[in-house]
A and B are shown apart, each in its own frame.
Chain A
Amino acid sequence: MVDENTNTAGQPPEKAAIAVHEAARHHIDDGRLIRLFDHFKREWQIYVMLLPTIIWFLVFLYKPMYGLQIAFKDYSIFRGVANSPWVGIEHFHTLFANDQFIRAVKNTVTISFYNLLFGFPAPIILALMFNEILHATYKRTAQTIVYLPHFISSVIIAGIVITAFSPTAGIINTFIGWLGFEPVYFLTQPQWFRPIFVGTGIWQEAGFGSIVFLAAIAGVNPSLYESAVVDGANRWQMMWKITIPSILPTILIMLIIRIGNVMEVSFELVILLYQPATYETADVVNTWIYRQGLQSGQYDLAAAAGLFNAVVAFVLVMTANTLSRRFSRTSLW
């Protein structure tokens, strides 16, 4: 007699159901693989075109991850990554006991906050302003002028800033001199570093960054504006009530990306503009890593700091994405 709780194969019903489910899953997986293979056979040219990007990711982003393990090792370039002994989270203890590192983290967050506060809205405001320019030639000229600094190397940008703020021949101090004041040694005074750095970043990137928002504005249905005109809205009202809400999803996506880069303060520009006198406000995690890792040869400690940076950025971008998805139905993924 067959037990009511077993099937003909002698399995209890739960196990049989699991087996059927597993078989179906494998079947689906097989189906997917077959479909992928068929797709590859049919569209192999597209996969070949994708190959350089995949190689780039593997070589420059995934292969270096192998080296991340030195953050947990007492690394020596003579012993190599594999033969260096494990030390657990000792480097992280060292990091958080280091005042300079804590200062660098604080500076990074502070500068990023100012960048977010002033630098993030700047391209949006620029795009909204460009959108209001009706004269085509004037608009093109203005756009070209503000896009230009993006194409200039950071070294040149830093040179321009240093020259402009020079206490002897800089235009700013010349102007201050005309007003009857003493010259200010801007780049040697810690309190001036952040405004100068954030301002330079805005000058360099706001124009180019406005392209994304201009594209979003171009995508707004023109009949929304026409409808508003018939309803009696003026340009200011149209900007607030139509343009900005319409580009809000783009703004949120860009904000999420920006939050993901909070720990990535422009390393090149900081290293070109700062000096020991301004470390107090200028030294960020990346410059600290550079000094510790490359200049002092503490690769393992620098790797630990880099990993910390990456984890914080990852958590921030995940949080921002989740919040954005929950409150605005817009998200990166």
Chain B
Amino acid sequence: MSGVNLEGIVKAYGALQVVHGIDLTVAEKEFVVLVGPSGCGKSTTLRMIAGLEEITAGDLTIDGRRMNRIAPKDRDVAMVFQNYALYPHLNVADNMAFGLRIRRMPKAEIKTTIDDVAEILGLTPYLDRRPADLSGGQRQRVAMGRAIVRHPKVFLFDEPLSNLDAKLRTQMRAEIKRLHNRLGVTSVYVTHDQVEAMTLADRIVVMNDGRIEQIGTPMELFNDPANTFVAGFLGSPPMNQMKGTLTASGAKIGDAEIKIDGRVGDHAGRDVIVGIRPEHVTLSAEGPSSALPISLDLVEPLGSEALLHATHGDDSLVFKAATNGDIDHLSGVDAVHVPSHLVKLFDAETGHALNFGV
């Protein structure tokens, strides 16, 4: 079992604690993505797994073996860095061979390994080139190649796509996913890009301020965010959040009242945050739903769909609507219809998700 287990992991720099007791289990062959805003402790956590940062407290085990005091080289992990960390004076083949030479692998075996991996990554024609003569995407592939040739138990990715342009990022994202499906190596991937997290992960770990906010599959996190932070972090655009008060059958938001499934009447009068995903609304009533009056500010066409920037009272909202090849019909929108079963509720004070059952 080459899984990774973090138990009560703490990282502190002197009196400043940046990671506050993380518990996480990454199963063998699983692809787990740590996602969160800058400074949330995700990279620090990854670096602690790699052995590049000392663990202040807690236990790290890889493959069932406690790794807290084990040198990085003996953890059998390979890491792909944000800026690729390619040796500028070495060509692609030598960059990929670096770790193997350090480990004194026989030359013939190194060559075979590198040829195989270069073939997988489409790097065979570039083996003699130096990093400066490669494009961003090719460099990224070399960085991955350098990790793959080691055949490690665990891959660690530290924002490997953030230096690429949007198009290349999409392409490389798919390549990483394909590669993981092919190699089946346990992977921990750090990113601040929720799209990367959603598309790549078997499970996502959302982190904030050195703590884990929620762990789950991408769809679990998308459909049932544990709190307002996760709700606001995942999804593009993120979930709309409005202050409201529960009523007998739903919630009052400003002057409007929307229906919500579940026994909300038992908690009538409670202050809540009402969460509505931009893509969950419709422009006409379809099934059990309620109209939410909006004042439209701007229509942003994206092609097949458009973003409607609007306000309701003091709340700024964004909704998605199908264009059907034309946005003229969207300019007169003055209300959106909110399906009652898709409305999310969060505690107004703690921000934790509320579930009142059906």
Contact = CB atoms under 8 A, between A and B. Distances in A.
B102 A232 contact: yes
A277 interface: no
Given A232-B102, A245-B89, A246-B88, A227 B81 contact: yes
A231 B51 contact: no
B67 interface: no
Contact of B50 (A228, A230, A237, A245): A230
Given A221-B83, A221-B85, A248-B89, A230 B102 contact: no
Contact of B78 (A228, A230, A242, A245): A230
A229 B98 CA distance: 11
B102 A229 contact: no
Interface string A198-234: 0000000000000000000000010110111111110
B273 interface: no
A248 B89 CA distance: 9
B37 interface: no
Contacts, number: 59
Given A230-B52, A230-B77, A230-B78, A223 B85 contact: yes
B83 A229 contact: no
Nearest to B132: A329
Nearest to B158: A223
Nearest to B88: A246
A226 B81 contact: yes
B123 to A, nearest CB: 17
A245 B78 CA distance: 23
Contacts of A241: 87, 98
B47 to A, nearest CB: 8
Interface residues of B, number: 23
Given A230-B72, A230-B79, A231-B150, A224 B102 contact: no
B81 A245 contact: no
A241 B97 CA distance: 12
Contacts of A226: 50, 52, 79, 81, 85
B25 to A, nearest CB: 22
B73 A227 contact: no
Interface string B68-94: 000011100111011101011110000
Interface string A284-315: 00000000000000000000000000000000
Which residue, A221, A224, A232, A248, has most C-beta atoms of chain B within 10 A?
A232
A237 B98 CA distance: 11
B103 interface: yes
Contact of B99 (A221, A223, A232, A245): A232
A230 B73 contact: yes
B83 A242 contact: no
Contacts of B51: 229-230
A83 B9 CA distance: 88
A223 B83 CA distance: 8
Given A231-B103, A232-B99, 7 more contacts: A226-B50, A227-B81, A229-B52, A231-B102, A231-B146, A245-B87, A245-B90
Interface of B: 50-52, 72-74, 77-79, 81-83, 85, 87-90, 98-99, 102-103, 146, 150
Closest 9 CB pairs of A and B: A232-B73, A231-B99, A227-B85, A245-B89, A223-B85, A223-B81, A232-B102, A230-B72, A230-B79
16 contacts: A221-B85, A223-B82, A224-B85, A226-B52, A227-B79, A228-B98, A229-B51, A229-B72, A229-B73, A230-B51, A230-B52, A230-B73, A232-B99, A233-B102, A242-B87, A246-B88
